[in-house]
Structure 1
Amino acid sequence: MADEDRPDPSFEVPVGMFQDLEDLKATVKALEAQVKTLTEGADTAASEVFEEGEEDAAGDAEEAASEEDEWQYPPFIMLLDSPVYDDELRALIEWVEGVLVPGYLGEPTADQRWCHLWFDHPVGVIPRLHALWLAWQELTDPATCGYTGPSVWHRDHYDPCMRELRGSNGPFKGCTKGEHQIDHRVPELVPSAWKMEEAGEG
């Protein structure tokens, strides 16, 4: 080995360089600690945000489910009191006179009776027709029942209801043309429960 390749024993590392190296090490350690703190904080914050988001979503879902339970299904008319009952009866009369009578009911006969004052028959008429209307609302909407809903409505709701109401022994058995002048008309003034009460009081 040549003399020129040997390290010069007189060469000394400056003291300042060691201090610089130590400073760099300390700075790197401080930065590593800072990065670790920030990373853990970000994970915690993200976790908290995610949990809050989950709670909000759960709360929204519960609220939506509550609203759906409250409003999706209309109440049965016999469970209502005035003035809500009056409004529901008016809507039912509009459906019966606007859809059911002209679309389904032919001329009344001895075997297929009907009374244009059907809302004056308290025994089973209004509840049955209201139930029929509720089923109509559900089973004629493809979004809730698909394309077979109307067929189900006719088979399971319309046919049995009409057999009960229009049969010769049904609630309209005393309604003949001579007594009630049966005609299929839309009433000029839609009657309601409170009008019946007023008429009863007078």
Structure 2
Amino acid sequence: MADEPEEIVPGLTVPVGMFEDIEDLKAKVAWLTAQLEALTGDSGDETGKASADDEDATAGREGADDEGEEEEWQYPPFILLLDPPQYDDELRALIEWVEGVLVPGYLGEPSPDARWCHLWWEHPVAVARLHAAWLAWQECTDPASCGYTGPSVWHRDHLDPALRELRSSAGPFGGCTKGEHQIGHRLPSLVPSAWTHAEE
């Protein structure tokens, strides 16, 4: 093999830190070039294609993640906006909550000043108000979303106003206690189970 000519290195005096600065600059220029190619979509080599493909894959994953998050964080729709069979399923769950939580815990004997209809689900206004109170209850009794003051807020802002409107003489049960309504009355403690009604 022929002798290779010796590489001539000029005798320059370079400050010690300058080599590190030059390497840093080279790395920065390479990074900026890659960013520019990725943004403009202009790539002349396979590396650019790979980075564009990576971006597409990342965008696809982000889109999928966004869809997953949307599905995960969707709120239940208001009951009056539902059609059967979703309405029936939501009403069955609402009846279970009203009869299992609200009636035994919060309602006393009906009176002219505090009316109640044992077939409340036949009153659309009552269904709407009770469903709204139930949705709020689900959120306000979860310490993760409302902390420890959630139940207090639920009583003050949701339950008390709903019961005042429902049980007032001008509320949806106004005709029931006067005997003008065909639905019979009984004490709230005797409310039948929603599942019993479903089986009948």
The residue type paired with residue 21 of structure 1 is E
**Counterpart in 2 of 1:100?**
102
For residues 24-64 of structure 1, the C-alpha deviation after alignment (integer angstroms, 9 at most, x for no partner) is: 99xxxxxxxxxxxxxx9897587457535632442233222
> Is the Cα–Cα contact under 8 Å of residues 77 and 85 in structure 1 kept in the other structure?
yes
Query: How many residues were matched structurally?
Result: 158
Q: Give the whole-Å Cα distance in 2 for the aligned partners of 1:147 and 1:45.
A: 53
Q: Which amino acid aligns with 2:135?
A: L
Q: Which residue among 190, 198, 201 is the counterpart of 2:197?
A: 190
Distance 1:63 1:80 in 2: 23
8 A Cα contact 1:111 1:167, kept in partner: yes
> 1:68 aligned to 72, 94, 97, which one?
72
Structure 1 contact 164–170 (Cα < 8 Å) conserved = yes
Give 1:118's match in structure 2, choosing from 117, 120, 133.
120
Identity of aligned residues (%): 60
Residue 135 (structure 2) aligns with: 134
Q: Which residue of 2 aligns with 1:143?
A: 144
Per-residue CA shift, 1:148-172, capped at 9, x if unaligned? 2211111111111101001122222
The superposition leaves residues 134-188 of structure 1 with CA deviations (integer Å, 9 ceiling, x where unpaired) of 1111111112222222111111111111010011222222333977232222425
Quote the Cα distance in structure 2 between the aligned partners of 1:82 and 1:156. Answer: 30
Structure 1 vs Structure 2 CA RMSD: 3.2
> What displacement does 1:101 show?
0.5
Which deviates the most, 96-105 or 140-149?
A: 140-149
Match of 2:21 in 1: none
Output the CA distance in 2 between the equivalents of 1:46 and 1:154: 58
8 Å contact kept, 1:90–1:190: no
TM-score (norm 2): 0.65
Q: Is the 8 A contact 1:115 1:175 kept in 2?
A: yes
What are the within-5 Å matches in structure 2 for residues 16-55 of structure 1?
19-21=2-4, 47=51, 51-52=55-56, 54-55=58-59
Look up the SS of the partner of 1:63 in the other structure. helix
Give the direction of change, closer, same or farther, for the CA distance of 1:106–1:162 in structure 2 (3 Å limit): same
Would the alpha carbon gap of residues 48 and 102 (structure 1) be closer, same or farther in structure 2, given more than 3 Å must change?
Answer: same
Distance in 2 between the 1:172 and 1:157 partners?
19
- Choose 1 or 2 for highest CA Rg: 1
In the superposition, relative to structure 1, how do residues 148 and 49 fare at CA in structure 2: closer, same or farther (>3 Å)? farther
Which sections of structure 2, spanning at least 5 residues, go unmatched? Answer: 8-33, 35-44
Instruction: Give the C-alpha shift of residue 65 in structure 1.
Output: 3.4
Once residues 165 and 132 of structure 1 are traced to their aligned partners in structure 2, the CA distance between those partners, rounded to angstroms, is: 12
